[in-house]
Structure 1
Amino acid sequence: MPIHLDISHLDRLVVAVVLGQATAEDIAGLARQFAESGMMHYRKIVDTSAGDFFVDEARVASIAAYLRADPNAASRGPLAFVVDPADPHFAEKFAELTAGERPVKIFHNLRAARRWLDECASIQPRR
């Protein structure tokens, strides 16, 4: 899978980095991994700035719907996307579809994303 995961259970933080070309199935697999592993409430960074992936709007909507249908969906933690400014499409669409469900924000560098997630650490997810 062209997505590398770094999971810190102690910090309740997941960093997913897309390396190379990822497919819609890779992104859906990442969403399934979050849902099935009990990490829905963790803070997450999804860094797509070093990779390419092709996900159409219908697939983005289906991934959002899958996550929304999870029994623990109400406790989803904040999500920070790090994107290449020239290609923010997946992140923008996903953020638009899920904005009212949990904190989600788009960044152009990892440092800003981490700072924002640190600020969100004091926010308790809805249970």
Structure 2
Amino acid sequence: MPIYLDISHLDRLVIAVIIGEVTADDITGLAHRFAESGARHYRKIVDTSAGALAIDEAGIAAVTAFLRTDPKAGARGPLAFVVDPTQTQAAEKFAELTAGERPVKIFHSLHAARKWLNECATIEPRR
């Protein structure tokens, strides 16, 4: 899977970097990894600027439906997408479908994404 994942439990921050092309199955696998690590409520950066989301609208809907199915998932933390300005469609659709469930925003620089996530930071009890 062309997704590199770094989870900092101390900072309650997840960084996923997509290199190359990923599919809906890859994104669902990433969501499983979030759930298994107990990091769903952490702040997240998903950096797709060096890759591509080869996922259509139906695939995005399937991923968002999967994210809603875990009964013990609890709240999901804020999500910052870092995207190539010419490759925004999948991130925009995902943000649109999940905006009411948590803060989500799209950026063109990692610096801006980190700044926004730091503004969203709250200290939550460990789950």
**Given the two structures, how large is their TM-score scaled by the length of structure 2?**
0.92
Aligned 8 A contact 2:24 2:63 in 1? no
Aligned 8 A contact 1:74 1:101 in 2? no
Aligned residue type for 2:3: I
Q: Equivalents in 2 of 1:17, 1:99: separation in Å?
A: 21
Secondary structure of residue in 2 paired with 1:55: coil
Shift of 1:53: 2.5
Q: Equivalents in 1 of 2:3, 2:16: separation in Å?
A: 6
Aligned 8 A contact 1:4 1:17 in 2? yes
Aligned 8 A contact 2:18 2:50 in 1? yes
Q: Equivalents in 2 of 1:52, 1:101: separation in Å?
A: 24
1:32-111 pair list within 5 angstroms: 32-111=32-111
Shift of 1:54: 0.6
Aligned residue type for 2:31: A
Q: Equivalents in 1 of 2:24, 2:2: separation in Å?
A: 12
Identity level (%): 70
Q: Which moved more, 1:16-25 or 1:113-122?
A: 16-25
Taking only aligned residues, the RMSD between alpha carbons, in angstroms, comes to: 1.8
Shift of 1:69: 1.8
Question: When the two structures are aligned, how many residues end up with a matched partner?
Answer: 126
Per-residue deviation, residues 78-110 of structure 1 (Å, max 9, x unmatched): 000000110111110000000000000000000
- Alignment pair present for 1:30 and 2:25: no
Unaligned runs of 5+ in 2: none
Unaligned runs of 5+ in 1: none
Aligned residue type for 1:44: K
Aligned residue type for 1:79: L
**Given the two structures, how large is their TM-score scaled by the length of structure 1?**
0.92
Shift of 1:12: 0.4
Q: Which moved more, 1:27-36 or 1:104-113?
A: 27-36
